[in-house]
């Protein structure tokens, strides 16, 4: 039966733990993965959030924007929390600032004749 189960022997006398360098080497892959996650996921997301916040703070009357619902229009009035957008003709919509997803270049919204 000895060929199926290996005999357990007591370990020789030693320090009872790994040395400082060996512990560092064992943790190195974990540190590498955390650094990679930061560089690939967290940092770009924070950068996009800063750009979005800057864009929302810089909205002015006359800017052409796209809302998160896909509406394209020109800003008519900017308040603290809401923005009035002219969609063309007599259609005006009031949306929250956070609902604006992007600004578009001037001239994208064509005025009807």
6-15, 47-56, 63-72, 75-84: least confident range: 6-15
Give yes or no: residues 99 and 64 share one domain.
yes
* Structural domain count of the chain: 2
Structural domain range at position 46: 19-58
Give yes or no: residues 73 and 94 share one domain.
yes
113 located within any domain = no
Give yes or no: residues 54 and 65 share one domain.
no
Q: How confident is the model at residue 9 (pLDDT cuts 50, 70, 90)?
A: confident
Query: What pLDDT is attached to residue 87?
Result: 92
Mean pLDDT confidence for 35-57 = 94
Query: What is the CB neighbour count within 10 angstroms for residue 71?
Result: 16
Query: What pLDDT is attached to residue 98?
Result: 94
Q: Are 56 and 100 in contact (CB under 8 A)?
A: yes
Distance CA 97, CA 94 (A): 9
Give yes or no: residues 98 and 64 share one domain.
yes
The CA-atom distances, in angstroms, between 19 and each of 12, 16, 29, 30, 33 are 16, 10, 17, 18, 23
Give yes or no: residues 65 and 48 share one domain.
no
Give yes or no: residues 45 and 81 share one domain.
no
Confidence (pTM): 0.66
Two structure tokens written together for 31 = 């540190």
9 located within any domain = no
Q: How confident is the model at residue 1 (pLDDT cuts 50, 70, 90)?
A: low
Give yes or no: residues 38 and 74 share one domain.
no
Give yes or no: residues 45 and 65 share one domain.
no
CATH assignment at residue 99: 2.30.30
């Amino acid at each position: 039966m000895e060929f199926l189960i290996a005999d357990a022997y007591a370990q020789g006398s030693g320090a009872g733990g790994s040395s400082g360098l060996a512990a560092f080497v064992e943790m190195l892959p974990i540190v590498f993965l955390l650094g990679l996650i930061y560089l690939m996921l967290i940092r770009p997301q924070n950068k996009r959030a800063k750009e979005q916040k800057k864009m929302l703070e810089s909205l002015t009357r006359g800017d052409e924007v796209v809302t998160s619902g896909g509406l394209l229009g020109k800003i008519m009035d900017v308040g603290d929390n809401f923005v009035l957008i002219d969609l063309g003709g007599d259609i005006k919509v009031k949306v929250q600032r956070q609902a604006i997803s992007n600004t578009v270049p001037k001239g994208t919204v064509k005025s009807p004749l």
